[in-house]
């Protein structure tokens, strides 16, 4: 009779075998499956024709180019649309090889997926109507929209609870819906990653009385998510990102996507990521 601990170990090894060796699967199939979002502009989005674009998607295209060189064969990219709610399950269930969207690196998430070296530094911000919102206390009595399944949702919920501020938190289906509801006056504020808010705010209907707050309510680091236990594949990803950082290409890609020069915080992250090969 197999002891429970030994059985658990064997089952764990079997599970790893099912999902292991991403590089071999890519070598055999000639396909890199990347997960991207439809609504996380300028990091990861679908344009009017349904094509994937964005700063982080561009980084993943560079990973595909590295794979072509290392595996010495043509590698086709298969774009798979994910949501904020299912993105990490798509990685765990081996439906995508690389999650290419603004995924904040957290300790709890590292229990279920692995992450590359950082791709971006951002934080929570707010777009609002009426009186300026500069602190969590300013949300009192307001209808606040937030995207479910995100670190900003958890930050907003937990912080308001801790400080005893009562607000109506409304979970929206995507960022565009949040900004739309805000513009229509159905929300008083929308809480999300500030870079995404800045992009959506810049594309809003000019008649809308919507303001973009200046404050960061948190600081978060993004990374590309991949399956646990895939060290050889992660090495390709990290080597690509480090090379792009050394060559100044990460900053160039960010400047192109954001339409402005990288700030000091992002340039510091890029300098730290400029690891020697």
- Residue 55: what are its φ and ψ, rounded to 5°? -60, -50
> What is the percentage of the chain residues whose pLDDT exceeds 90?
77
Higher pLDDT, 160 or 206: 160
pLDDT tens string 33-57:
999 999 998 999 999 888 999 999 9
Question: Is the pLDDT reported for residue 8 higher than 90?
Answer: no
Q: Please write the tens of the pLDDT for every residue from 197-249.
A: 888 887 766 556 889 998 999 999 999 999 999 999 999 999 999 999 999 99
Token pair listed for 54:
């964005």
How do residues 104-130 score in pLDDT, each as one tens digit? 999 999 999 999 999 999 889 999 999
Tell me if the domain spanning 4-121+221-273 has CATH number 3.40.50.11930.
Answer: no
What is the phi/psi pair of residue 225, to 5°?
-90, 145
The rounded mean pLDDT for the chain is 90
pTM (predicted TM-score): 0.80
Calculated CA dihedral for residues 177, 180, 181, 185, nearest 10 degrees: 170
Q: What's the average model confidence in pLDDT over 84-98? A: 96
CA 182 – CA 210 distance, rounded (Å): 7
| 125 bridge partner residues | 192
Decide: helix, strand or coil at residue 61.
Answer: helix
- Identify the band that residue 77 occupies on the pLDDT scale cut at 50, 70 and 90: very high
Predicted confidence at residue 16, as pLDDT, reads: 43
Write the CB contacts of 263 (distance below 8 Å, at least 6 apart in sequence). none
CATH 3.40.190.10 segments of the chain: 4-121+221-273, 124-212
* pLDDT of res. 20: 55
Burial of 59 (0-12, 13-18, 19+ CB in 10 A): buried
CATH superfamily of 124-212: Periplasmic binding protein-like II (3.40.190.10)
**Nearest Cα residue to 236 out of 81, 7, 79, 21:** 21
* Predicted pLDDT of residue 207: 57
């Amino acid at each position: 009779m197999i002891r429970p601990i030994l059985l658990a170990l064997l089952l764990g090894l079997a599970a790893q075998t099912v999902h292991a060796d991403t590089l071999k699967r890519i070598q055999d199939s000639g396909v890199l499956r990347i997960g991207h979002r439809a609504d996380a502009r300028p990091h990861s989005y679908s344009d009017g024709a349904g094509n994937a674009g964005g700063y982080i998607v561009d980084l993943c295209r560079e990973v595909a180019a590295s794979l072509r060189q290392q595996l010495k064969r043509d590698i086709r990219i298969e774009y798979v649309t994910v949501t904020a709610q299912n993105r990490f399950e798509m990685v765990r269930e081996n439906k995508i090889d690389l999650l290419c969207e603004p995924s904040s690196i957290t300790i709890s998430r590292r229990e279920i997926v692995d992450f590359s070296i950082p791709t971006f530094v951002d934080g929570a911000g707010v777009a609002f109507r009426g009186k300026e919102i500069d602190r969590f206390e300013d949300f009192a009595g307001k209808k606040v929209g937030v995207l479910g399944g995100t670190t900003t949702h958890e930050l907003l919920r937990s912080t308001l609870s801790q400080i005893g501020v009562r607000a109506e938190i409304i979970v929206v289906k995507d960022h565009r819906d949040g900004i739309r509801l805000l513009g229509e006056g159905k929300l008083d504020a929308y809480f999300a990653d500030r870079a995404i808010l800045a992009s959506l705010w810049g594309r809003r209907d000019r008649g809308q009385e919507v303001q973009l707050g200046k404050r960061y309510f948190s600081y978060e680091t993004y990374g590309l998510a991949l399956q646990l236990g895939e060290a050889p594949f992660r090495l390709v990803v990290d080597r690509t990102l480090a090379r792009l950082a050394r060559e100044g290409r990460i900053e160039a890609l960010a400047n192109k996507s954001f339409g402005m020069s990288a700030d000091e915080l992002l340039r510091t992250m890029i300098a730290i990521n400029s690891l020697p090969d």
